[in-house]
Structure 1
Amino acid sequence: MTVPVLKQAGALLARYDVLISDVWGVVHDGLWALEPACAALAAFRERGGAVVLLSNAPGPSDHVARLLDAKRVPRTAWDSLVTSGDVTRALIAESHHKRAYHIGWASDRAVFEGLDVELVDEARADLVVATELNDYRTETPEQYRPLLSRFAARGLPFVCGNPDLVVHVGEDLLPCAGSLATIYEELGGSVAWAGKPYRPAYDLALAAAAGLRGGRPVEAEKVLVIGDAVRTDLAGARLMGFDSLFVAGGIHREETMRGGEVDPAGLARVLDGLPVQPVAAMAALA
């Protein structure tokens, strides 16, 4: 099957009632809003559709919303926001563990606010929560292997607060907490993944969409997932039985783009072997 490559998405989006859109790589590039994408989402909303942003960002949604404001993503582009931080909070609460070792930025500790959890050192921890690397610009995931080996040997559960392996920040490709969780599983540790492509994140997104529609359930065939990552966005859409639109100019752009245009051969290689193909691809949402 050849996936059609679109220049504009208006006619495609009109077939759906709800868009579940990735954020990083689709709505902004890590630095600033991608204006054509925001305009496309705003136009969809103006026609009566609902837009739920679903992000693997490790912060709670209210914190991430303020970051989107700072990146100049207009509130007219979205109705609701669900983040990995929201799922992480739920998983921590459900775990009933009281002493957590945190890997990630100090600002990410908002996920612990209001929870009956103490942040402790390695020796006292009974739970590991990774939201990011402590400094993803200077560190590599492999530097954490000795620490992760000690936690795995003790059998500590690990909550991954951002299942992405890597992310673009401008032109830089930097590691995320998912790369640590992958090592932890290699070491025999148990990981709870708080975000895409796992069902808890989509269940929250669907609940948000139903709320926007006055409580009416959302039919799967009326939901379109928009994303730039095969491993998370396209896999999550397949899990849930939703159609997907692949943004080739995001995380896979080194493989799928040539001279600012989608390279059909590169696109085919990236999508090869997927049991369900996206309904279309674009260089960027517009």
Structure 2
Amino acid sequence: MTQIIRSLADLSDRYDALFCDLWGCLHNGVTPFPAAVAALQAFRAGGGKVILVTNAPRPKSSIIRQLDSMGLPRDTWDDIASSGDATQAAMLSGAAGSQVHHIGAPKDESFFTDFEDDLAEMAANSTITRVPLDQATGIICTGLADDLTETPDDYRGKLLMAKAKGLKMLCANPDIIVDMGEKRLYCAGALAQLYEQMGGEALYYGKPHPPIYDLARKRLGLDEARILCVGDGINTDVQGGVGEGLDTLFVTGGLAAQEFGPDIDNPDNDLLLNWLAGHQLSATYAIGYLR
């Protein structure tokens, strides 16, 4: 049964490391949450390690620049594993063939230019080129070209063409939606979901799928670590942690905040348990906001 806790400090001595989500947990796409920042700083000060595990479709270097621009202190985390990193590895291994078509925004261009040290040699020797859809052997989807105005329905024609060509889609962000401030936006996962509904094939590399957890463990660098997965996504953070055999801390005040009663800071226990049962998932712990 899921246990509701008041603060991360209640659990700190039980875990060596956190795999911590970003959007909805540590920031809202615009600014960091001060209580979450303080909680992670305290966990690290006590000897724990924090790996930020994000479904952002961009590489680690781009995530760092984004977090720095928000003013997130560097002492909040030890390393980062992104869905973008894991998808880059798949692309460089040929999962989408040698001629790829990109569906995504200009802000995601770093996916094709910035590679971490563990991928740099593969990138330097790669023969992969970006091409129009009619010449493609596969698709790299990092999101919508303009997520402020577009919806997945705007891509039906393009996706039907890709499906007719039998192209695989490499989805660099399995999230369906995300909240930026007060606005709800569609992510790459929404396009991949629509593509599968049309009969196309989509491959996923972020949470809840194994590749990003393999990368996070590699960057953690600890053998036999006691790991707690933290996040607000029931079908990403919680499902992924459960699938990896790891304990989970569900942040109820994120995407599903309205499901657990009027006091978002203190989720109603009965509403929470019924909601989790409806999703056929059970987090180890739950908390209103990370603090």
Q: TM-score range by the shorter chain?
A: over 0.9
Q: Partner of 1:238 in structure 2?
A: 242
Q: Partner of 2:272 in structure 1?
A: 267
Task: Name the CA distance, whole Å, in 2 between partners of 1:241 and 1:209.
Answer: 17
Q: Partner of 2:5 in structure 1?
A: 6
- 1:190 matched to 2:194? The reply is no
AA in 1 matched with 2:223? P
Match of 1:281, SS? strand
Contact 1:209 1:218 in 2 (8 A): no
Q: Partner of 1:217 in structure 2?
A: 223
- 1:62 matched to 2:73? The reply is no
AA in 2 matched with 1:280? Y
Q: Partner of 2:168 in structure 1?
A: 157
Shift of 1:73: 1.2
Deviations 1:29-88 (A, max 9, x none): 111011111111111111111110000001100110110111111111100001011011
Tell me which moved more, 257-266 or 175-184.
257-266
Task: Name the CA distance, whole Å, in 2 between partners of 1:180 and 1:233.
Answer: 20
Tell me which moved more, 176-185 or 95-104.
95-104
AA in 2 matched with 1:218? E
Q: Which residue, 127, 141, 145 being the options, matches 2:138?
A: 127
Percent identity (aligned): 37
Q: Partner of 1:83 in structure 2?
A: 82
Tell me which moved more, 29-38 or 183-192.
183-192
Task: Name the CA distance, whole Å, in 2 between partners of 1:276 and 1:249.
Answer: 17
Task: Name the CA distance, whole Å, in 2 between partners of 1:263 and 1:136.
Answer: 33
Task: Name the CA distance, whole Å, in 2 between partners of 1:171 and 1:265.
Answer: 27
Contact 1:100 1:125 in 2 (8 A): yes
Tell me which moved more, 271-280 or 170-179.
271-280
Tell me which moved more, 169-178 or 183-192.
183-192
Task: Name the CA distance, whole Å, in 1 between partners of 2:268 and 2:196.
Answer: 35
AA in 1 matched with 2:111? V
Deviations 1:217-240 (A, max 9, x none): 134xx1100010001000100110
Contact 2:58 2:85 in 1 (8 A): yes
Tell me, which stretches of 5 or more residues in structure 2 are unaligned? 114-122
Q: Partner of 1:92 in structure 2?
A: 91
How high is the TM-score relative to the length of structure 2? 0.91
Q: Partner of 2:120 in structure 1?
A: none
Matches within 5 A, 1:111-122: 111-113=111-113, 114=123, 115-122=126-133
Q: How many residues align?
A: 278
Q: Partner of 1:136 in structure 2?
A: 147
Q: Partner of 2:116 in structure 1?
A: none
Shift of 1:167: 0.2
Contact 1:248 1:257 in 2 (8 A): no
Contact 1:27 1:73 in 2 (8 A): no
Task: Name the CA distance, whole Å, in 2 between partners of 1:187 and 1:76.
Answer: 45
Deviations 1:166-212 (A, max 9, x none): 001011111100010011111221211021000010000011111xx
Q: Partner of 1:255 in structure 2?
A: 259
Shift of 1:265: 3.9
Shift of 1:242: 0.2
AA in 2 matched with 1:130? C
Q: Partner of 2:118 in structure 1?
A: none
Q: Partner of 1:213 in structure 2?
A: none
Task: Name the CA distance, whole Å, in 1 between partners of 2:209 and 2:215.
Answer: 11
Shift of 1:117: 2.4
Q: Which runs of 4+ in 1 moved over 6 A?
A: none
Contact 2:163 2:200 in 1 (8 A): yes
Q: Partner of 2:48 in structure 1?
A: 49
Q: Partner of 1:39 in structure 2?
A: 38
Task: Name the CA distance, whole Å, in 1 between partners of 2:239 and 2:30.
Answer: 26
